Structure 1
Amino acid sequence: MPRELAVFGILIPTLLPIFLASLLLQGALDWVLGHAGLYRRAWHPALVRLCLLVCIFSALTLVLYS
């Protein structure tokens, strides 16, 4: 995989689209978990949200770069 993507003549790192995709996936998962009421059982819901984002981003990065 190339390290940079050319978008309208601007070079952006490949991790940026991966991060944006992980934000979208985390938002959808956050909505599902919020409606299911699972955040009421968490000690710190914001920390759970951050951990989910890190796990999703790491998984997408590992899939793409391995």
Structure 2
Amino acid sequence: MNLVVTLLGNEIPTMVVIFIIVGIVQILINRILADLGVYNYVWHPGLFRTALFVALFAATSLLIYK
């Protein structure tokens, strides 16, 4: 697999693209979970959001780089 993405003539590492995509997905998941009231039952919402982002980023990276 090519580890570099060319965007407008600039070479960008694939990890940066994955990071941005997962960040957008994280924002959407955060809004859904907030609307459902999940954060009322979580001990530390900031830690939960960070852990969710890390898990999504790691899973996506492992799928692509495997």
- TM-score for both structures, normalised by structure 1: 0.91
Equivalent AA in structure 2 for residue 30 of structure 1:
N
* Inter-partner Cα distance in structure 2 for 1:32 and 1:9: 36
- How far did residue 20 of structure 1 move? 0.8
In structure 2, list runs of 5 or more residues that go unmatched: none
Q: Percent identity?
A: 33
In structure 1, list runs of 5 or more residues that go unmatched: none
Aligned alpha-carbon RMSD (Å) = 0.9
Could you say which residue in structure 1 is the equivalent of 2:61? Answer: 61
* Inter-partner Cα distance in structure 2 for 1:4 and 1:51: 27
Map of 1:1-66 to 2, 5 A cutoff? 1-66=1-66
- How far did residue 32 of structure 1 move? 0.8
